[in-house]
Structure 1
Amino acid sequence: MLEMDKTKSNVRTCKEMLLEFKNLKKRDISSKLLFDGIENEDVYNITAPFLFEGKRYLAGRVEKRTEEWSRVVFFMEENEKWIADNSIPSLPLQDPFVTQVNGEFIVGGVEVFDDVEKPGMLNYRTNFYRGNSLRSLTLFAKGPDRMKDIRLLQLEKNQILVMTRPQGSIFANGKRYEAGRGKIGYMIIHSLDELTPEAILDATIFDDQFISEEWGGCNQLFMLDDGNVGILSHIARFDEAGNRHYYSSAFCMNPRTGEHTPMKLIAVRDNFALGDAKRPDLTDVIFSGGLERNKNKKAMLYCGVSDAQGHRIEIDDPFE
């Protein structure tokens, strides 16, 4: 069973976690994924592979190097490459995620749109699509404005764990929280019909994972054999020059009590092959896309790298 710590002593900074990370310079030079069917655009912030129509697919964020307007494209694995499947409609989203609830595909990502309250600025929210096939997905829910990293996991037939990431000062679950640049919350719903902005904003927030200057969120959820949930996540910070630093992390939680283990790093940018960055301030960025757990206590981690590439690397399974 997990050793749960209920105290605020769990709070550790990115730098503190980096000091204990043992594989800082382990680099897999063959980790970059090859994508076909996309020209003059980058593919990054990819999901882990999943099965569709008997073949391995993954979803990826596709956009031009100089833009933020992106779409989610589905890629099929073939001969060690990932081929864009143009027979599956793309979605007007960033940062995709894929899961299943009651046998249906649930695909989500971040919609970017003009901010009516701040002319000239962009707003964003998480949108959710559902369907028995990737070819017939329909929009069924939207998250609150300015919230990314909402993820779902079916626990039982009528129980769905929802992980959230509010920002700023919020009143949730009868309590005032200071979520800063982004903290992780959770709640359990009993139907996808309950996935509303109001419910998401009322989730219970973990206040022992990030200092106020840093932030993070969930990327993929796993049901573990002991009834707990393994959470692939990320933690991030700015440095003094305004550069972003994103690290891949993981922790476990009891979905019914909210007790959770301390977050730990599982990969950093230096673990991956060298390559281009979208901008200089995004060089030291990896975005945890998904984890493919194997039977040998290893796992394949899929990441967006420097907001310009998709990579994978084999690591020790963080949930073993």
Structure 2
Amino acid sequence: MFTLKKSGVQPSSVLLEKYTKNEQKPYNPTKLNFTGVGEKDVYNITAPFEDSGETVIAGRVEPRDSEHSEVIFFVRRGEQWIPKEGAPVFALQDPFFTRIGGELVFGGVEVFPHPADERAMSWRTVFYKGANIHRLEKIFTGPDGMKDLRLIELPDGSIGVLTRPQGDKGGRGKIGFVRIPSLDHLTLEVIHEAPILDQFMEEEWGGANEAHLLSNGLIGVLGHIARMDEEGNRHYYPMVFALDPTTGEHSDIQLIAARSDFLKGPAKRPDLADVVFSGGLVRKKDGTADLYAGVGDAEAQRISMRDPFLAFEKIRWGK
């Protein structure tokens, strides 16, 4: 077995201090220009992906003064991204995708009235699967109150499941992991019983946004770590870590970007000005990567960097 280097759980302030000392920083921040949705904002986007021979991006679309959102699929036309004609629209937040068994698995966060408090709302993660975005059918609904459920197909056909419980088990939000033989074994019980990874201080929280299968069999996780300061302002940072799907052993969290790396722009509310929500990472053959992210809960940007998963792929493990 291998050993992933661990230095213990550290607060995001310490991780940020380490990140600011890095000599290699992200570069070429770019705002993505989404049109065709009126005055609504588009943020918390996925990375681009191929669908029936065309590149699409799924984005969260909503008015600045509301969180009643839709997920719309966009295609690029020149320097603009416009809604894909005839594509389905989902009443979801924070879209994501992966591929399992050669098919597209798409999902997002569904918001619904809280079952015990008529003045509140609750949420859950839902999954759809199909040959393309036009043939998506719902296959699973996650536990009430849980965002950031993510799936990844492993080389033997089994499925890695990243969870994010809150409350008694997860506090403000922690990442769990479990491996199942196939999608048929994905159940609420499996999700609830997934072991928690030791990553966050009790007053902080985080979640997985995207999982990548690395060349050495590890899972590279793109996620976020977050905290709230004394004034009630939220601070979200994109991060990565590596995970052994066999043992659940994992590396330390590493920040890969901060709000100051992106272009200046609006925020949905003043307390969200320092929020960067990781959407997806496109790894390139030249050793770089593009991070697609929501910024300030009001717009979408892309930024380039050295591929943060390359170092994890150098880890030797197994016999």
1:238 equivalenced with 2:228 (yes/no): yes
Question: Contact 1:24–1:268 (CA<8 Å) still a contact in 2?
Answer: no
Q: Which residue number in structure 1 is paired with residue 41 of structure 2?
A: 42
After TM superposition, the score normalised by the length of structure 1 is: 0.93
Question: Contact 1:24–1:270 (CA<8 Å) still a contact in 2?
Answer: no
Q: Which residue number in structure 1 is paired with residue 244 of structure 2?
A: 254
Q: Which residue number in structure 1 is paired with residue 17 of structure 2?
A: 19
Shift of the alpha carbon at 1:79? 1.6
Question: Contact 2:27–2:305 (CA<8 Å) still a contact in 1?
Answer: no
Q: Secondary structure at the match of 1:169?
A: coil
Question: Contact 1:55–1:77 (CA<8 Å) still a contact in 2?
Answer: no
Q: Which runs of 5+ in 2 are unaligned?
A: 311-319
Shift of the alpha carbon at 1:3? 4.5
Deviations 1:92-135, CA, capped at 9 Å, x for gaps: 11000011110111111000000021121000000111111201
Shift of the alpha carbon at 1:158? 3.1
Superposed CA RMSD in Å reads 1.7
Q: Which residue number in structure 2 is paired with residue 4 of structure 1?
A: 4
Shift of the alpha carbon at 1:318? 0.5
State how 1:283-294 maps to structure 2 within 5 Å. Answer: 283-294=273-284
Q: Secondary structure at the match of 2:247?
A: coil
Residue correspondences, number: 309
Out of 173, 179, 182, the position equivalent to 1:188 is 179
Tell me the amino acid that sits aligned with residue 4 of structure 1: L
1:60 equivalenced with 2:63 (yes/no): no
Q: Which residue number in structure 1 is paired with residue 306 of structure 2?
A: 316
Q: Secondary structure at the match of 1:76?
A: strand
State how 1:113-124 maps to structure 2 within 5 Å. Answer: 113-124=112-123
Q: Which residue number in structure 2 is paired with residue 176 of structure 1?
A: none
Tell me the amino acid that sits aligned with residue 315 of structure 1: M
Shift of the alpha carbon at 1:193? 2.2
Q: Which runs of 5+ in 1 are unaligned?
A: 171-178
Question: Contact 2:209–2:223 (CA<8 Å) still a contact in 1?
Answer: yes
1:229 equivalenced with 2:228 (yes/no): no
Shift of the alpha carbon at 1:24? 9.8
Q: Secondary structure at the match of 1:20?
A: helix
Shift of the alpha carbon at 1:5? 4.3
Question: Contact 2:45–2:57 (CA<8 Å) still a contact in 1?
Answer: yes
Shift of the alpha carbon at 1:54? 1.2
Choose 212-221 or 150-159, whichever is displaced more: 150-159
Give the percent of matched residue pairs that are identical in Structure 1 and Structure 2: 50
